[in-house]
């Protein structure tokens, strides 16, 4: 290898370091000058097979376990390493936090990583190629039901008609009209919001390479309507933001839009398998 920052399959880690902590798989690149440091400020290097490599650091073959604050700090560094590499080479296959490849009596951890790269070489190469120039976006569309109900009460002609008919009605009949009006308002609110969200979803899907619709989360005070992981060309991110901006402008709508991120949700959506001999949190 001409890249002095990469490790060959025959390298062995010091005896006390029996594992490899895995950050991501990426095209082979020169780490020199990037100043990328791993968990606990350790050296990060690349184990490479031809044009692809795994970015790792040598470590004991035990999970990274600590208090919540320490775990959060490690997680931030894990993502920072992947982000730095993604910015440098524009395509990565990120690994989840705390994947450690363990060596054994037959093969060192570094050699096992190299064997894993060799076994999955074509799948990794094709996946990296397909993800070049693409990013993941996280999109959550929430709504304040009460705000939308107030808008419909103030503006809908059919609701106004029922309000007018309610005036002067006997108590029993007034109750009937009130129930009918409340049901109509709820139906109209659900219909308006569903139509808005579905129209926005279609626009986002047209601008994305892949859209994953996740299960909505429970929120305090708001209802989540859409929870999306989106893989998109970087050139289309502004257009997706514009779609969400139009939705945000509607009464009662609340949008959370984060990214661009490396494609965590889409990177391993392939027949590629993680190494068999691993320790994972």
Please give the structure tokens belonging to residue 136. Answer: 């993941």
pLDDT at residue 42 in the model: 93
Q: State the pTM of this model.
A: 0.77
225 vs 195: CA distance, rounded Å: 11
pLDDT at residue 3 in the model: 39
145 & 77 share domain: no
81 & 162 share domain: no
Q: What is the domain count for the chain?
A: 2
98 & 206 share domain: no
124 & 207 share domain: no
204 & 102 share domain: no
Give exposure, 128-142, as e/b (b: 16+ Cβ within 10 Å).
beebeebbbbbbbbb
For residue 120, being part of any structural domain is answered with yes
Band of pLDDT at residue 232, cut at 50, 70 and 90: very high
pLDDT at residue 15 in the model: 46
For residue 274, being part of any structural domain is answered with no
**Predicted confidence (pLDDT) per residue in 124-155, tens digit:** 999 999 999 999 999 999 988 887 777 766 66
- Domain ends where: 104, 132, 160? 132
Domain that holds residue 98: 6-132
For residue 277, being part of any structural domain is answered with no
pLDDT at residue 147 in the model: 78
- Domain ends where: 73, 98, 132? 132
């Amino acid at each position: 290898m001409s890249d002095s920052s990469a490790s060959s399959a025959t390298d062995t880690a010091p005896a006390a370091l029996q594992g490899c902590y895995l950050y991501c798989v990426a095209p082979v690149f020169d780490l020199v000058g990037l100043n990328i440091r791993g968990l606990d400020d350790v050296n990060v290097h690349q184990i490479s097979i031809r044009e692809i490599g795994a970015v790792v650091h040598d470590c004991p073959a035990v999970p990274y376990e600590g208090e919540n604050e320490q775990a959060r700090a490690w997680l931030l560094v894990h993502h920072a390493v992947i982000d730095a590499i993604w910015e440098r080479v524009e395509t990565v296959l990120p690994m989840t936090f705390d994947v450690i490849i363990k060596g054994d009596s037959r093969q060192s951890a570094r050699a096992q990583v190299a064997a894993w790269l060799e076994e999955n070489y074509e799948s990794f190469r094709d996946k990296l190629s397909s993800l070049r120039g693409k990013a993941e976006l996280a999109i959550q569309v929430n709504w304040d039901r009460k705000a939308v109900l107030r808008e419909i009460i103030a503006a809908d002609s059919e609701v106004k008609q029922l309000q007018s008919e309610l005036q002067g009605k006997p108590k029993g009949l007034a109750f009937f009209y009130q129930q009918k009006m409340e049901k109509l308002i709820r139906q109209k609110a659900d219909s308006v919001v569903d139509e808005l969200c579905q129209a926005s979803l279609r626009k986002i899907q047209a601008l994305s390479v892949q859209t994953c619709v996740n299960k909505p989360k429970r929120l305090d005070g708001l209802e989540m309507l859409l929870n999306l992981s989106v893989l998109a060309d970087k050139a289309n991110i502004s257009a997706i933001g514009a779609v969400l901006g139009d939705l945000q402008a509607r009464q009662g709508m609340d949008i959370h839009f984060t990214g661009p991120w490396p494609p965590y949700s889409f990177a391993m959506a392939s027949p590629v398998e993680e190494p068999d001999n691993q320790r994972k949190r």
